[in-house]
Amino acid sequence: MGIEVKDLLSIHDLSTKEINDILDLAKTLKTQLKNGEQHHLLKGKTLGMIFQKASTRTRVSFEVGMWQLGGAALFLNANDMQIGRGEPVKDTARVLSRYVDGIMIRTFSHDEVIELAQFATIPVINALTDLMHPCQALTDIFTVLEHKGRLQGLKMVYIGDGNNMVNSLLQACAKVGMDISIATPKGYEPDAAIVAEALTVAAETGSKIVLCEDPLEAAKDADVLYTDVWASMGKEIEQEDRREVFVNYQINQNVMNVAKKDAIVLHCLPAHRGEEITEEVLESKQSVVFDQAENRLHVQKAIMVLLMGK
């Protein structure tokens, strides 16, 4: 069990075996935690956590995760660091590499994370950029595996904005042979290069990828329904315009009616109830969004162990 790459910047960089190793270790760590067993696999190690975007789940899950693994985590607000005053990313990378054992970053520019990893001599974990959200997508397929017992051949349906979340879901589903249908308004499709990349991988794994504009068409016979906010962080200025564009891109009872009867519902949170998802669906028995939120802890612990425990 292990990961050959130094960093986790994108799910595309992982092999299917490496993804399965992450999921297997996450399951083991979760079981041990529930049984009250300690697993100080990163004892004495420190994670530096750079935040340029606000967070609830990311900060708490990584910080608690490091503590449960026997290590420590440092919250580094970019506004309080020299990086927030113009220090080059490459200098920050080399300095932090002398102090800590791993870097987690949640920021806007994906290129910034790539540069950080290029100059750091320690593992870098992408905890979210405007382009990708790999830790969340790995958590999502882990949650599906828990509730469905398998991934290959299942159909995930994503309805909403073609944002960083759907970009990473495309990569994850393609790697594990899970079908994914994506319904977005015209002009809000996922990144074209990532779609092309995922299609190439899907041809090898048997995953089916469908992009369309009709949510009901996409949701037909879905095993998993997924959505995210209509305006991601940094896009708040577009909120009012997006409400008009996305008004029909909501997971509601009409959508649930065309999915499979045992379909589960995912949302990476925070949710805007009454916009991308109804209160009725979010609070229904088919919603597993809080299991999903908890699983950020277990999956990210597995990622940290496999990267930082080498």
> Per the annotation, where are the binding residues?
55-58, 82, 106, 133-136, 164, 228, 232-233, 268-269, 296
CB 158 within 8 A of CB 213: no
Neighbours of 34 (CB within 10 A): 9
β strands within 124-191, DSSP E: 124-128, 155-159, 179-183
From the list 224, 223, 222, 199, the residue with the least C-alpha distance to 209 is: 199
Neighbours of 2 (CB within 10 A): 12
CB 307 within 8 A of CB 301: no
From the list 230, 302, 301, the residue with the least C-alpha distance to 272 is: 230
Tell me the two tokens of residue 52: 């340029």
Q: Binding site for L-ornithine: which residues?
A: 164, 228, 232-233
Residue positions annotated with a catalytic role? 106, 133, 136, 228, 268, 296
List Cα–Cα distances, 46 to 5, 72, 122, 231, 256, in angstroms. Answer: 20, 5, 11, 34, 44
Residue tagged 């529930």 (tokens): 34
Q: Binding site for carbamoyl phosphate: which residues?
A: 55-58, 82, 106, 133-136, 268-269, 296
* Tally of residues, the chain: 310
